[in-house]
Amino acid sequence: MPTTGVLALALTGAVLGAFVPWLAGRWAGVPRLDPARAGAGRPGAGRRGAARGRAAVAWAAMAAVVFGGLGAAPGCGPALPAFLAVAAVGLLLAAVDLACLRLPDPLVGLAALGAAAGLVAAAAADGRPGRLLASLTGAGLSFLGYALLALLPGSRLGFGDVKLAAVLGLPLGWLGWPALLTGLVLPHVLHGLVVLGLLAARRIRRDTLLPLGPALLAGAWLATLAA
């Protein structure tokens, strides 16, 4: 994709990302602060407003990097709309998971719908409908692998993570076996590094539950860039 197209995608991602904290608050059950009731004299109102502003900027920057990276990734090709759809919903899923350790089924289903529709259109445009079988295989293997991990004794893997892994297996399967394998393994490496860092900083304890959704999405994104 030309540089101008990548920049346009990055700008689109930034605009969408700015709304992620607000949308995540709605899905996580955090009430939105009513501006009409947030008078200047309310204790902490200014700090809350500043924190929301910083969160919006941070998510906008992250979304710009995600969208721009996908636009520059050579492997996406005609399937780019499918990857962008998964990324758009994925950013919201990551924010919700960070807020309340939950991956809502409607959002996971929306990501699956976006991936499926985009990949079907890409297969038709590319004239290679057989690639859809690779996508379905990737989704099935991802689901099976993560379901087995979730059923292991003492596993902290939730079935929301299992369903999200299956959805991410659709675009990763489209890219091929190396991307699928990377996308399945890399999230655990990323998650493990985060856990070790937080333990070293004494921010968490060994029994603290941490969301895996962001690592799943980050691993899939990096696998896409490397494909």
Q: CA-CA-CA-CA torsion for 67, 139, 156, 110, nearest 10 degrees?
A: 50
Query: What is the DSSP annotation of 159-197?
Result: HHHHHHHHHHHHHHHHH-HHHHHHHHHHHHHHHHHHHHH
Domain layout of the chain by residue ranges: 3-32+46-226
Q: Kindly state the tokens that stand for 46.
A: 């200014």
Q: What gap in Å lies between CA 17 and CA 202, rounded to an integer?
A: 30
Q: What gap in Å lies between CA 178 and CA 103, rounded to an integer?
A: 26
Q: What gap in Å lies between CA 32 and CA 136, rounded to an integer?
A: 39
Q: Which pLDDT does position 42 carry in this prediction?
A: 54
Q: Mention every residue, 6+ apart, whose C-beta is less than 8 A from residue 119.
A: 79, 82, 131, 132, 135, 170, 171, 174
Query: Residue 194 in contact with residue 112, Cβ under 8 Å?
Result: no
Q: Which residues of the chain have pLDDT under 50?
A: 31-41
Residue identified by tokens 């090709």 is: 77
pTM: 0.88
Q: What gap in Å lies between CA 7 and CA 2, rounded to an integer?
A: 9
- Residues 140-161: pLDDT tens digits? 999 999 999 999 888 888 899 9
